[in-house]
Amino acid sequence: MIGLLYFDPYFWVTIPGILLAAWAQMKLSAAYGRYSRVGTVRGVTGADVARLMLDRNGMANVEVYRISGELTDHYDPGRRAVFLSHGVHDTPSVAAAGIAAHEVGHAIQHKTGYAWLGFRMAMVGLTGFASKASWFLILGGMIFSNANPRSNLGRSLLFFGIMLFGVTVAFQLVTLPVEFDASSRAKRELLRLGIIVPEESTGISKVLSAAALTYVAGLLTSVLELVRLLLIFRRPRDEDHG
């Protein structure tokens, strides 16, 4: 977006993040595609896995719902409900079992008061505002700075936009331990409760590891974007028309 206003000499900073994000998405698609075709020995669907884990962890009040889309699965702490995509909810596959268990892992975090989940929940409102407002301020700052390189208004808008963008980066950073912990809980509970057999652990680990990599890639991409914005902000004003 910034490149539409003028040539951005720092675009190269974000290239590693873009490449990693693309690779992570391909890796997730491959793992999900492969293990979606591998049935579970016990024939349990994602919905079955979620219900069993919730009930046996004292969360019979947490509902499981089917939603549209692919890999749109999530746990909603506000509604205290697990939402599973059609391919996970209704499919008796290793991939479905792993993804459903991961979302229940978030529910278990919520029940046990896992600190990182609490931090993440507390940041949701501010992050939602920051993600929307940051680019309006950044682009506004670019426009004003481009029109008048010595304008303090342009630099002020850019500064506050970058600060808000930093909030979204912090949110992604807090999300990492939440996601990794949910996957650990998922694999542990699946075996402890006998929902899967040990031989299925490898496939579940590959699916959940691939999913976790997308969060790492997302964080790296955002961090590099933040670095690019800071470099633009620090560029001497006389270079803005260069």
Task: Lay out the sheet containing 74-76: strands in order across.
Answer: 63-67, 81-85, 74-76
Residue among 103, 179, 189, 225 flagged as catalytic: 103
What's the rounded Cα separation, in Å, for the pair 111 and 61? 12
Q: Which among 138, 139, 178 is positioned nearest to 159, based on CA atoms?
A: 138
DSSP letters of 173-184?
A: HHHHHHHHHHHH
Question: Phi/psi of residue 85, each to 5°?
Answer: -65, 160
70 is annotated as an active-site residue: no
Identify the bridge partners of residue 65 per DSSP, sorted by sequence position.
83
Structure token digits, residue 8: 């951005």
The phi and psi torsions of 210 (rounded to 5 degrees) equal: -65, -40
Strand partners, 85: 67
CA Rg value for the chain:
22
* Residues carrying an active site annotation: 103
